[in-house]
């Protein structure tokens, strides 16, 4: 079932999750343990992130060696596992960075064969490696270009225009939204105009970057509606789990942490920080539900303990 169908048919608010693949060569057991822990909350869909190749430097006996590799492959396989072992809709992230349009089309065809009909179209992080585009190939520059390519396939339009009897795909297309603006955008309204372009090109819903102040989300939704964006806007949340998050989260995701929350985290004993984060997230969820959001999306990486504590605290699901 498509994400927007889950939203339309929901009789009460639900929570979805986003996971990351294990590191290259890692054991999938950790991921399976997380899945076993979260499926009891009946998530209608689970996102799996994707990562393009990046530049890494390894120290060897001959000095520092530069390598280009994907640290976390496996998105396609994990999505197939979730879809068919757990009978939960999976949402693979599809990137522009690091992939040609031809590679993207091949991936989308494989997803379609697997019965996966939800995707999240994003540009992806700049990881210091610009993959060269081979002669005769092409690449999407922005997420809005990627959305158009996927939407074209939904209309039966493939890169090779001469294909006979090309079958339309049937993807529900999600895109990212930034309540505190994307770090490259000059201002929030300009960023929302970029979001509008993605919707105009075929995006079916928006899931936001994490935020810790609900007013930021409410204002973002209001501005999006004023700009003519009428698709569902799913709030994305992440639980603070350690004092180090006060620096790593703003640095990596370009968001603000409210002073009240940062003070509570700093004043807490090390082993009590997670409780502070869970309590703050619970308050966010309760207010969001009261305001009528149909669903909430949690970024949980490969750690299900915080979400289990939250769900026990909420007793709403």
| Confidence at residue 124, expressed as pLDDT on a 0 to 100 scale | 85
- Residue pLDDT, tens place only, 160-208: 887 778 899 999 999 999 999 999 999 999 999 999 999 999 999 999 9
Distance CA 268, CA 61 (A): 44
Distance CA 2, CA 204 (A): 10
Contact 143, 207 (CB under 8 A): no
Tell me which residue range forms the domain holding 47: 3-314
Residues 209-224 have a mean pLDDT of 98
Residues 38-59 have a mean pLDDT of 82
Distance CA 314, CA 317 (A): 8
Tally of domains within the chain = 1
Distance CA 74, CA 69 (A): 13
| Confidence at residue 236, expressed as pLDDT on a 0 to 100 scale | 98
Residues 57-64 have a mean pLDDT of 63
Distance CA 245, CA 299 (A): 14
Band (59; pLDDT cuts 50, 70, 90)? low
| Confidence at residue 317, expressed as pLDDT on a 0 to 100 scale | 60
| Confidence at residue 152, expressed as pLDDT on a 0 to 100 scale | 97
Q: At how many degrees (to 10) do helices 101-113 and 75-85 cross?
A: 20
Bigger pLDDT: 74 vs 164: 74
Contact 256, 197 (CB under 8 A): no
Q: Which stretch of 38-47, 48-57, 68-77, 169-178 has the lowest confidence by average pLDDT?
A: 48-57
- Which residues neighbour 207 within 8 Å (Cβ) at sequence distance 6 or greater? 47, 120, 174, 175, 176, 177, 233, 234, 236, 297
Distance CA 233, CA 41 (A): 21
Q: What is the DSSP string of the chain?
A: --HHHHHHH-SS-EEEEEE-PPPTT--THHHHHHHHHHGGG--SEEEE-----EEEEEEETTEEEEEEE-SS--HHHHHHHHHHHS--EEEEEEESTT--HHHHHHHHHHHHHTT--EEEEE-----S--PPPPTT-----SHHHHHHHHHHHHTT--SSTT-TTPPP---EEEEEE-TT--TTSSSHHHHHHHHHHHHHTT--EEEEEE-S-HHHHHHHHHHHHHTT--S-EEEEE----STTHHHHHHHHH-----HHHHHHHHHS-GGGHHHHHHHHHHHHHHHHHHTT-SEEEEEEET--HHHHHHHHHH---
- Which residues neighbour 193 within 8 Å (Cβ) at sequence distance 6 or greater? 227
Residue 61 sits in a domain whose CATH number is 3.20.20.220
Q: Is it the case that residue 84 has pLDDT exceeding 70?
A: yes
Distance CA 250, CA 98 (A): 25
| Confidence at residue 254, expressed as pLDDT on a 0 to 100 scale | 94
Q: How far is CA 16 from the centre of its chain?
A: 11
Q: Is it the case that residue 129 has pLDDT exceeding 90?
A: no
Closest CA to 221 of 229, 212, 211, 210: 229
User: Which two tokens mark 100?
Assistant: 């040609």
């Amino acid at each position: 079932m498509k994400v927007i169908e889950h939203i339309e048919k929901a009789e009460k608010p639900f929570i979805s999750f986003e996971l990351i693949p294990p590191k290259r060569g890692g054991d999938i057991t950790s991921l399976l343990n997380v899945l076993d822990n979260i499926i009891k909350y009946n998530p209608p869909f689970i996102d799996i992130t994707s990562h393009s190749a990046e530049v890494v430097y390894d120290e060897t006996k001959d000095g520092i060696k530069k390598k280009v590799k994907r640290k976390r492959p496996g998105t396609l396989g994990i999505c197939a596992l979730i879809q068919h072992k757990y009978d939960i809709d999976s949402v693979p992230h599809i990137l522009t960075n690091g992939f040609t349009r031809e590679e993207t089309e091949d991936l989308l065809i494989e997803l379609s064969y697997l019965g996966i009909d939800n995707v999240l179209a994003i540009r992806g992080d700049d990881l210091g490696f610009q993959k060269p585009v081979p002669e005769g190939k092409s690449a999407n520059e922005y997420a809005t270009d990627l959305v158009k390519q996927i939407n074209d396939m939904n209309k039966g339009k493939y890169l090779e225009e001469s294909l006979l009897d090309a079958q339309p795909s049937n993807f529900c297309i999600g895109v990212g939204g930034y309540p505190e603006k994307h770090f490259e955008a000059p201002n929030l309204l300009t960023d929302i105009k970029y979001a509008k372009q993605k919707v105009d090109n075929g995006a079916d819903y928006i899931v936001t970057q994490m935020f810790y102040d609900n007013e930021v989300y409410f204002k973002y939704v209001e501005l999006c509606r004023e700009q003519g964006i009428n698709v569902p806007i799913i709030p994305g949340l992440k639980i603070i789990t350690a004092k180090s998050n006060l620096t790593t989260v703003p640095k990596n995701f370009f968001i603000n942490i409210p002073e009240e929350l940062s003070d509570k985290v700093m004043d807490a004993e090390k082993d009590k920080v997670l409780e502070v984060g869970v309590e703050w997230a619970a308050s966010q969820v309760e207010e969001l539900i009261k305001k009528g959001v149909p669903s909430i999306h949690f970024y949980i990486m490969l750690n299900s303990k915080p979400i289990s504590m939250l769900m026990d605290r909420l007793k709403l699901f």
